Amino acid sequence: MLKLENVSKFYYNKGIIASGFTKVNVELKIGEFVAIIGESGSGKSTLLNVISGLDSYEEGEMYVNGKETSHYQEKDFEEYRRKYIANIFQEFNLINSYTVYQNVELVLLLNGYKKHKIKKKILDIIDKVGLTKFKNTKVSKLSGGQKQRVAIARAMVKDTPIIVADEPTGNLDSESAKEIIELLKKVAKDKLVVVVTHNIEQIEDVATRIIKMHDGRIVQNIEKKKIKEEPEITESKYHNITLFNKYRLGVRNTFNIASKFLLLFAVFFFLSASILTEYASFQMSEANTADEGYSIAFRDLSENRIIINKKDRTYFTNEDYEKIKQLPNIDYIVEDDIFIDEQVPIYKDDMSLYGNLLDINNFRGDINYGRMPENDSEIIVRINEEHFYITNRLEELLNKTFSLQGIGGNYNNESTKDLIVVGVQTYKNAGHYDCEFYVSKNLLNELRNDVNKSYSNIKVLLNNKYVQYTVEPNDNVPEGKAIVDDEFKYQFRYNRIRNQPIEISLNNIYYEEVLNLSISNTYTKSNLKRLLGLNEYDSNRNKIFVNTEDYNKLFNKPSYQSSVYVKDVETIDETMNDLQNLGINPKKVTDFKVNQGEASLRIIKIIKVIVTIILIIVLFFISYLIIKIILKSRNVYYATLRMLGATYKNVRRILDIELFINSTLSYIVLLLFIHLVKTNVIHLEYIAQITEYIGLIEYVLMYLVLILISKLISRKFAKKLFKNTTINTYNEEV
């Protein structure tokens, strides 16, 4: 069955060659119970490791069932161990976190047996070694003798023709040792049992052959009982481990040792959090740089703002606004969007605030101080909570009258409005101190006239010639008439100016308006007071005065341009299509933005990619070193898997599953943590801020990177496990 011819084993360590054993010649048969004895260092355990295929040899030839093995690679020895060898170790080499049943089951799972088909076989073997009542007990809670019984049961269930045992009674008391020898004697009837021992007295009565070694050589080979007829050799049957068994062992190994699981979980949590935080920070920098652009025409360059006007160039009606509000992605509408981009001051005494005028109907949130407005002269101020006025001068702000002046560049007394601040809402935005003034819709409509004046061009057609004169309203002028400076008469033949037609036309980017009037009178220095009620002639020279109602016809117009704000920027293009179907021209305000940071943006994108790649590589090696230390604490476990028949591919797949579960669970917890931060259950402002710049695609990519890293770590560690012979891996120090 097993024959060694001049077999030698050498060890190489730092240039020094040491001999394990030299020129061993021995032939062993099925049915023999072989005892190998000798003092420590004589080479008996080394010989046993070579016989069992746990270690290689450098010289001679070992025949197994008549076949040479000197050409065997590690894969060949793996197959040899699976077919022929079952090991029993002095240190038991059991999985302490497994039960008795799971330890015996493990060898069958690794060798391709299906779980439901092996239960009876396992229970029978456990019963034979007398451990039925302990079948669901963890091995760590057993005595030494009981552990060795489990090891024997594991060897028996594999059903191989050769069983090798290294000092199986070395750590046991005499009574337990006697029971173990009896068990081995029963096993030896149709198998080759090779036992290394220091205590020949324990085994002398059952041994059929005693081999004594000294200084790496066999000095005695006594055949106490001749085996006349070698029984038929039956190789152990095995299959490749099933996918289900790989997952079973992977899941079992993930959770069987709490400390290991928590350490691996912590490593993967740190790994995923580091990558995600770094990437999110660059995303935020990239977004901030992209937002650093400017527009000459528009101040508010929010991504969710769309500027709209009608395709037929007419003004918006209430019906138009109602249709727009019905669209699914519309958050709110700013009818007079010119006020969004026009900052105006409100002031009193030594206090002044600058901000935008907004419709009170678009006010969101709660008031922090004061109350809601009740009439057109009352307003709400929205201001940064870090603003000086909020913390130190609130009493000077609330319920105080402020003046609003300068809408559209007009600074005359008529454009001044007195407003009472009755409510204050605060917000937090470091470095941003602009205000928002929420006023009534009626006030906005009134102020729109001033805006239209500032953006309009007025021409006067007088005596068939266009001239540039100032037009002003005056209640003393009859409707449909105009009173002009007496100096204008020189433009007409015979100075006949009265009852002459005068056309006043206005145009701006939104609309055109024409007033057709007739000149009813002219004013001079002497009659200015009587005709128009004005005193200063010099300041009113070369002006055209018309009736106030006529004048208002030029400027009192509905909105021709508005803005809509969408709820979801991701679907803004769909909203623009919906608006076009309503006969509206939509334009994203960001299309008018000139980005000064294009070069900076490109640099940030390049740096983001480079730094992310470097970080992933660095974190991979750091994580590998830490995980290697954690997993090396279980070197005996993985070496045991090899001894029981697990191949490199098997071990790697089990490791893949274990690290996959750890990394996935850690990532799920990280996502839950981010959700709690975003919902303000956990208050971490910076994390909440940067994660706003991470979308679903980034989260998926980060997860795939994490899984890839876990697989690379698994592959690298598995390769290291199989780099050396099984016994060297087993003996490697943690």
Spatial contact of 221 and 26, defined as CB atoms under 8 Å apart: yes
SS3 state of residue 288: helix
Spatial contact of 75 and 649, defined as CB atoms under 8 Å apart: no
**What's the pLDDT tens digit per position in 393-448?**
888 889 999 998 766 555 444 567 899 999 999 888 755 667 899 999 888 888 88
Q: Which of residues 585 and 723 earns the better pLDDT score? A: 585
What pLDDT shows up at residue 218? 93
Percent of the chain residues past pLDDT 70, beyond the cut: 93
Spatial contact of 82 and 158, defined as CB atoms under 8 Å apart: no
pLDDT confidence tier of residue 672, bands split at 50, 70 and 90: very high
Spatial contact of 148 and 100, defined as CB atoms under 8 Å apart: no
What pLDDT shows up at residue 733? 44
What pLDDT shows up at residue 22? 93
Q: Determine how β-strand 217-223 pairs with β-strand 209-214.
A: antiparallel
Entry pTM = 0.60
Q: Which of residues 15 and 541 earns the better pLDDT score? A: 541
Residue 594 has pLDDT above 50, yes or no: yes
What pLDDT shows up at residue 717? 87
- Cα→Cα distances 157→37, 64, 249, 430, 726, Å: 27, 22, 18, 71, 21
**What's the pLDDT tens digit per position in 158-202?**
888 999 998 888 777 888 788 888 888 887 778 899 999 888 888
Which residue's structure tokens are 């439901």? 116
Q: What is the mean pLDDT of residues 617-646?
A: 81
Residue 586 has pLDDT above 80, yes or no: yes
Percent of the chain residues past pLDDT 90, beyond the cut: 40
Beta pairing partners, 354: 345
Per mean pLDDT, which range of 77-91, 268-282, 629-643, 689-703 is the poorest?
629-643
DSSP string, 678-694: HTTSS--HHHHHHGGG-
pLDDT confidence tier of residue 633, bands split at 50, 70 and 90: low
Residue 138 has pLDDT above 90, yes or no: yes
What pLDDT shows up at residue 650? 85
Residue-wise over 249-272: b if at least 16 C-beta within 10 A, else e? bbebbbebbeebbebbbebbbbbb
pLDDT confidence tier of residue 265, bands split at 50, 70 and 90: very high
The two tokens of residue 235 are: 């190789």
pLDDT confidence tier of residue 156, bands split at 50, 70 and 90: confident
**What's the pLDDT tens digit per position in 85-119?**
888 887 788 888 899 999 999 888 888 888 888 89
Spatial contact of 319 and 556, defined as CB atoms under 8 Å apart: no
Q: Which of residues 727 and 554 earns the better pLDDT score? A: 554
What pLDDT shows up at residue 432? 64
What pLDDT shows up at residue 719? 86
What pLDDT shows up at residue 413? 45
Spatial contact of 306 and 579, defined as CB atoms under 8 Å apart: yes
H-state helical runs in 160-257? 174-187, 200-203, 243-255
Spatial contact of 462 and 543, defined as CB atoms under 8 Å apart: no
Q: Which of residues 544 and 255 earns the better pLDDT score? A: 544
Average pLDDT taken over every residue of the chain: 86
The two tokens of residue 267 are: 């490593």
Q: What is the mean pLDDT of residues 215-230?
A: 85
Q: Of 74, 146, 143, which is closest to residue 104 (Cα–Cα)?
A: 146
**What's the pLDDT tens digit per position in 684-698?**
888 888 888 888 888
pLDDT confidence tier of residue 241, bands split at 50, 70 and 90: confident
Per mean pLDDT, which range of 421-435, 517-531, 546-560, 589-603 is the poorest?
589-603
The two tokens of residue 174 are: 């005499």
Q: Determine how β-strand 33-37 pairs with β-strand 192-196.
A: parallel
Residue 390 has pLDDT above 80, yes or no: no
What pLDDT shows up at residue 731? 65
- Cα→Cα distances 359→17, 85, 551, Å: 91, 86, 26
Q: Tell me the C-alpha distance between 466 and 700, whole Å.
A: 67
Q: Of 185, 231, 215, which is closest to residue 34 (Cα–Cα)?
A: 185
Element (H, E) at 28: strand 16-28
- Give residue 216's region: left, alpha or beta (phi > 0; psi -120 to 50): left
What pLDDT shows up at residue 524? 94
Q: Which of residues 473 and 395 earns the better pLDDT score? A: 473
Domains of the chain with bracketed CATH: 2-239 (3.40.50.300), 245-288+598-731 (no CATH), 336-441 (no CATH), 456-555 (no CATH)
What pLDDT shows up at residue 255? 87
Q: Determine how β-strand 378-384 pairs with β-strand 417-427.
A: parallel
pLDDT confidence tier of residue 505, bands split at 50, 70 and 90: very high
Q: Tell me the C-alpha distance between 284 and 303, whole Å.
A: 15
